[in-house]
Amino acid sequence: MNSLRWVGVVGVLLLTACAARAPEMAMFRGNAAHTGVFSVPADQPQGTWEFKTDGRILSSPVIADGALFVGSTDNHLYAIELADGRERWRFETQGSVVSSPVVKGHTVYVGGLDNRIYGLDTRTGEKRFEFRSGGGIVSSPALVGTTLYYGGQDRKVHALDLETGTLRWSFAAGGEIWSSPVVADGVLYIGDSWRRLYALDIENGELVWEFNVQGEVIGSPAVADGMVFFGSADTYVYALDAQSGVERWRVQTAGEVASSPAIQDGLLYIGDESGLLYALDTATGDERWRFQASDTIFTSPAIADGVVYFGDWDGVMYGVDAHTGEERWRFRTYGEIWSSPIVARDVLYFGSFDRRVYAVRP
């Protein structure tokens, strides 16, 4: 699929998924291991609504402080009230915001294609922090302690100390980085356009191991049960030993893979260019079921209450049974869906190419 048109487009777009864990911390894929399993505290207000921006929504949202935070290609980061969809504030950057934010305490951090990392007050949008990086930021940051880890179009992985505003270390990768970092047990995992997955020591950025594949690693890995899982544009899903990088298994898909995996109860869920969503056994790679969507699946699945949610390029958001793969719900938008969903209690949040952010109840 000519690299799924994403090699040229991902420079200004995104694929990631975001999640909320608690008011104190909210980040991409729900946690630093990027398993895609979602839980939001019961005290977060809920409502169903649509919110319109002036640009396409490729960033995936996070929830904290009673608001949803999401970026747009109109060069803004938005804070939207969860209860009714009203705008709390917007912050203007100098480039598209396709990276997904991360929240700690009352500060939301986000990267932009203007080569900057911003830290903003979640309640007012006031700028508290700004760091100029060496290239545009598509990768969604991971926050561990006071260190923000992210990849850039400068072909580097960076560890930014938020207390001092300085880099703790940088690692030179072989290609541009669209993948978002995963952190588990003191190791950071991330892919690049040079067809590699890297494992780095989070303390000093030294290479622990690297694994070569035959296509770009655009999606982000997930870590579970001592293994790291990821897909590639070479039409394979891989499972590696997290400590050694030794391959445990690989499964060929019908199309290139840019989706990031979601993992729960020994099953891995991931989509591909052909519109197939797969459920694979994490221990063996055996296929449990597959579901055919209408078009390419670029979003990363979200799991909540036994349902797997994901969108496709036909503008449809699906909910399928996590155990059987049977369709249980669908919702149509007016544009391609690249933004990955987040589930907060019984409400699903995501963005679309139709410039809207949706809060819908399946």
Yes or no: say if 61 and 50 are a contact pair by the CB < 8 Å rule.
no
3-state DSSP assignment of residue 311: strand
Q: Which residues, other chains included, contact 201 with Cβ-Cβ below 8 Å and sequence gap of 6+? A: 186, 187, 188, 208
- State yes or no: pLDDT of 19 exceeds 50: no
Instruction: Say how far apart CA 137 and CA 232 lie, in whole Å.
Output: 20
Domain that holds residue 125: 2-360
Token pair recorded at residue 291? 């579901």
Q: Which of 32-41, 247-256, 337-346 has the highest mean pLDDT?
A: 247-256
Q: Which of 327, 344, 313 is nearest to 9 (CA)?
A: 313
Yes or no: say if 17 and 60 are a contact pair by the CB < 8 Å rule.
yes
pLDDT in tens, 199-243: 999 999 999 999 999 999 999 999 999 999 999 999 999 999 999
pLDDT level of residue 86 (50, 70, 90 thresholds): very high
Percent of the chain, pLDDT > 90? Answer: 86
Q: Which of 339, 341, 332 is nearest to 314 (CA)?
A: 332
Token pair recorded at residue 91? 């912050």
Radius of gyration over alpha carbons of the chain, in Å? 18
- State yes or no: pLDDT of 15 exceeds 70: no
Instruction: Say how far apart CA 340 and CA 139 lie, in whole Å.
Output: 14
Q: What is the mean pLDDT of residues 105-119?
A: 98
Mean pLDDT of the chain: 91
Yes or no: say if 40 and 84 are a contact pair by the CB < 8 Å rule.
no
66: left (phi over 0), alpha (psi -120 to 50) or beta: left
Q: Which of 103, 95, 85, 86 is nearest to 58 (CA)?
A: 95
Write down the pLDDT at residue 36: 57
Write down the pLDDT at residue 3: 45
| Residue 314, Cβ density class (10 Å: 0-12 exposed, 13-18 middle, ≥19 buried) | middle
Write down the pLDDT at residue 27: 55
Q: What is the mean pLDDT of residues 3-27?
A: 40
Taking 3-state DSSP, the helix, strand and coil percentages for the chain, each rounded to the nearest 5, stand at 0, 45, 50
Q: Which of 285, 184, 185, 284 is nearest to 231 (CA)?
A: 285
User: What is the CATH classification number for the domain harbouring 264?
Assistant: 2.130.10.10
Lowest mean pLDDT among 4-8, 29-33, 61-65, 244-248: 4-8
pLDDT in tens, 299-348: 999 999 999 999 999 999 999 999 999 999 999 999 999 999 999 888 99
- State yes or no: pLDDT of 21 exceeds 90: no
- Number of structural domains found in the chain: 1
